[in-house]
Amino acid sequence: MVNSLVSILIPFKNVEDYFEECLKSIQNQTYKNWEVIAVNDNSSDNSLLIANQFATKDDRFKIFSNDESGIITALRKTYTHSSGNFISRMDADDHMTKDRIKIMVNSLLNEGQGTLAVGKVKYFSKTGVNDGYDRYEKWLNKLTTTGENFKEIYKECVIPSPCWMVHKEDFDKCGAFTPDRYPEDYDLAFRFYEYRLKCIPCTTTLHYWRDYDNRTSRTSEHYAQNYFLDIKLHYFLKLEFKPTDNLVVWGAGKKGKTIASSLAEKNIPFHWVCDNEKKIGKDIYGVLLEHYSALQNIENTKCIITVANVEDQMSIIAFFKELNLKPAIDYFFFC
């Protein structure tokens, strides 16, 4: 598979201000055996014109139009027209470092099938990167450096959506872009996790991730917090929870209530704990809130933690350590 073909999949919509920079960063790759499969998702600006200009001069750029609407259907069409041994994603408003494809291909060739190549990312913005994205970047890159991304998958998306590469056979095994579940990048990360792909550690920045006010992840309803919680709970119940487990929700804030409400609707019994004296003893959704010390008397625990404060999380970890309970086995942070 030396010099294998890499398919770079790009759905695009109204990115005329950034698209040329994105496509040039691919054209300037040190690894040359690639194809770009770009699908226009009903752009109303000059994005398609820009894509076609590249395709006219370089036949490695292959441009199609989405017959439907939305990023999932656009991604499906990109994959349908791909021919590569390796599959990679790219966002049309970002750019990649010149060695990204070479580094990822070499990683996959060295490690073989059953692995996932990822790279460190760097956010950039004309107006400056906000604290939230800065924290996410540092957290994500720390995981990527060690390849332990999946250990914290229930917190946030642990695979940078425009910066991964995988063997085609593994991508098919994981279901490619078949599901209709949003956020689609987080769903794919969970399926990589479900099929036990191993993240290959990477200490190099391979992708520059652009932030701006009207990017899709900021404006689309599909990236609202409730969608993230729904997807976390879906895979938690599928992959982690067994009928013999005693399910516990820790936290009675907005996220805790959302999780508790979903479990109640699914008729899944659970304990509900917190440290808020004003809420302890209250009956919400038919479940009585208890002090978290009740966990000392609960066996076979599977605990969902919805507490976001970092200092509180450290205290929770210390508490579970005293009970000889392990992270990502007995308890899972959902934020």
How does DSSP classify residue 201? P
The answer on 295 and 200 residing in a single domain is no
Q: Which two tokens stand for residue 14?
A: 């109204």
List the domain range (segments joined by +) for residue 280: 244-333
**Are the C-beta atoms of residues 261 and 238 closer than 8 Å to each other?**
no
Identity at 68, one-letter amino acid code: E
Q: Domain with 294 in it: what CATH number?
A: 3.40.50.720
Q: What is the DSSP string of 259-272?
A: HHHHHHHTT---EE
What is the rounded distance in angstroms from the CA atom of residue 183 to the CA atom of residue 264?
23
314 pLDDT more than 70? yes
pLDDT in tens, 220-271: 564 457 899 999 999 999 999 999 999 999 999 999 999 999 999 999 999 9
The answer on 210 and 74 residing in a single domain is yes
- Pick the last residue of a domain from 194, 223, 252: 223
The answer on 31 and 157 residing in a single domain is yes
Q: What was the pLDDT predicted at 220?
A: 53
Query: How high does pLDDT run on average in the chain?
Result: 95
CA angle 263, 265, 268 (to 5 degrees): 45
Q: For residue 108, is it within any domain?
A: yes
Q: For residue 1, is it within any domain?
A: no
The answer on 180 and 32 residing in a single domain is yes
Q: For residue 35, is it within any domain?
A: yes
CA distances from 185 to 38, 100, 162 (A): 17, 20, 9
Least confident of 55-59, 171-175, 223-227, 291-295: 223-227
Q: What was the pLDDT predicted at 226?
A: 83
String of b and e for 79-98 (b: at least 16 CB within 10 Å)?
beebebbbbbbbbbbbbbbe
127 pLDDT more than 90? no
Task: Give the residue-averaged pLDDT of 61-80.
Answer: 97
The answer on 42 and 168 residing in a single domain is yes
Task: Give the residue-averaged pLDDT of 105-116.
Answer: 98
Task: Give the residue-averaged pLDDT of 56-77.
Answer: 97
The answer on 217 and 121 residing in a single domain is yes
Q: For residue 232, is it within any domain?
A: no
Q: For residue 257, is it within any domain?
A: yes
The answer on 200 and 278 residing in a single domain is no
The answer on 31 and 180 residing in a single domain is yes
How many structural domains is the chain composed of?
Answer: 2
- Pick the last residue of a domain from 223, 256, 287: 223
**Are the C-beta atoms of residues 197 and 119 closer than 8 Å to each other?**
no
The answer on 264 and 214 residing in a single domain is no
Q: What was the pLDDT predicted at 310?
A: 93
Q: For residue 231, is it within any domain?
A: no
Q: What was the pLDDT predicted at 2?
A: 67
**Confidence bin at 163 (pLDDT 50/70/90):** very high
**Are the C-beta atoms of residues 241 and 263 closer than 8 Å to each other?**
no
Closest-CA residue to 240 (of 331, 316, 320, 175): 331
Strands (E) across the chain are located at: 6-12, 34-40, 61-65, 86-89, 95-96, 115-118, 120-124, 164-167, 198-200, 205-210, 246-250, 271-274, 283-284, 287-291, 301-305, 331-333
Q: Domain with 33 in it: what CATH number?
A: 3.90.550.10
Closest-CA residue to 27 (of 129, 96, 120): 96
The answer on 181 and 115 residing in a single domain is yes
**Are the C-beta atoms of residues 210 and 133 closer than 8 Å to each other?**
no
- Pick the last residue of a domain from 223, 257, 279: 223
pLDDT in tens, 167-226: 999 999 999 999 999 999 999 999 999 999 999 999 999 999 998 766 565 455 644 578
Q: What was the pLDDT predicted at 223?
A: 47
Cβ-based neighbours of 268, under 8 Å, separated by 6 or more: 237, 247
The answer on 187 and 88 residing in a single domain is yes
- Sheet order of strands, 205-210 included: 95-96, 205-210, 120-124
> Rounded to two decimals, what is the model's pTM?
0.94
The answer on 183 and 303 residing in a single domain is no
In the chain, the percentage of residues whose pLDDT exceeds 70 is 96
Q: For residue 237, is it within any domain?
A: no
